[in-house]
Structure 1
Amino acid sequence: DKVKRVICCSGKVYYDLVKKREERESDDVAILRVEQLYPFPHKVFGAELRKYPNATDIVWCQDEPQNQGAWFFVQHYIHENMLDGQKLGYAGRAASASPAVGYSHLHQEQQKNLIDAAFGKLRGYILTK
């Protein structure tokens, strides 16, 4: 299996991720869209994740600020379903008191950066199984 990275997400960021994967022709990246966050679908999610036993990096990507999206809720559930040796990272906006940056050009720049981060090297807080 070619997949080395699994990007997990919820919501409309999925479409940006699919577009970026197509642009990059990244056949080593799988995208899992999780639309039911509570109760978390452990059996279904775990089964999907196990389809990619050679994946070393798992990424949660969201376009909300870190403290306002699902990251802090789902990171533990994702970690529980990871295989030994896999690493979990976050790709998204930094924590913020405001849900929006307030300027269209800054929003577009942040959106591009978080999508690029989802496909790039894991940075920051990383959980390892």
Structure 2
Amino acid sequence: MRPGTKFQPVLDDPYVAVKAETERVVCLTGKLYHDLIKYRQNIGDSVHNRVAFIRIEELSPFPFTALKDTLERYPNAKEFTWIQEEPRNQGGYTHVLPRMTAVLREIGKDGDVTYVGRVEDAVPAPGISKLYKAQQESVLQGAFDG
């Protein structure tokens, strides 16, 4: 870390200029964020304000207040998603879901938190390059398509 900086448990999307135009907020953790930013750049500028990526950098203790403060910046968002590279039964999804749902209820958003990622599996990755790339593409596209 650079001098004068400090750890932030939740990082807002710096590329969303008009937060009131955001329809979907996608929460995530880890390096997937960088893949999503590249994917969004390849899609084009039309999605920059429509989909926001919120990075939850600290899962325990869960940053309830920081997430609440960040989500409140998106008053017109109607869809809230958790995305992860890992299969559904691995990664942060099962830990984050009830906590994220509680934060959404607190700010008056009653919709469900949808999941985007790989299906349940006994292994963290398929081990076959072609299959991994196809699954990864599906995960990235799911952030924008639902």
Normalising by structure 1, we get a TM-score of: 0.89
Shift of 1:31: 0.5
Output the CA distance in 2 between the equivalents of 1:87 and 1:98: 27
Letter in 1 for 2:87: P
**Residue number among 101, 106, 110 corresponding to 1:79 in the alignment:** 101
Unaligned runs of 5+ in 2: 1-19
**Residue number among 116, 126, 131 corresponding to 1:91 in the alignment:** 116
Instruction: Look up the SS of the partner of 1:90 in the other structure.
Output: strand
Shift of 1:100: 1.4
Structure 1 segments, 4+ long, off by >3 Å, are none
Partner of 1:125: none
Cα deviations by residue, 1:55-85 (Å, 9 ceiling, x for unpaired): 0001100001111110000001111111324
Q: Does 1:22 align with 2:47?
A: no
Partner of 1:47: 69
Shift of 1:23: 2.2
Output the CA distance in 2 between the equivalents of 1:78 and 1:33: 12
Output the CA distance in 2 between the equivalents of 1:106 and 1:11: 21
Q: Does 1:13 align with 2:4?
A: no
Q: What is the Cα-based RMSD across aligned positions, in Å?
A: 1.1
Structure with bigger gyration radius: 2
Letter in 1 for 2:99: Y
Output the CA distance in 2 between the equivalents of 1:47 and 1:23: 30
Output the CA distance in 2 between the equivalents of 1:68 and 1:28: 28
Unaligned runs of 5+ in 1: 122-129
**Residue number among 114, 124, 129 corresponding to 1:104 in the alignment:** 129
Q: How many pairs does the alignment contain? A: 121
Normalising by structure 2, we get a TM-score of: 0.79
Shift of 1:35: 1.1
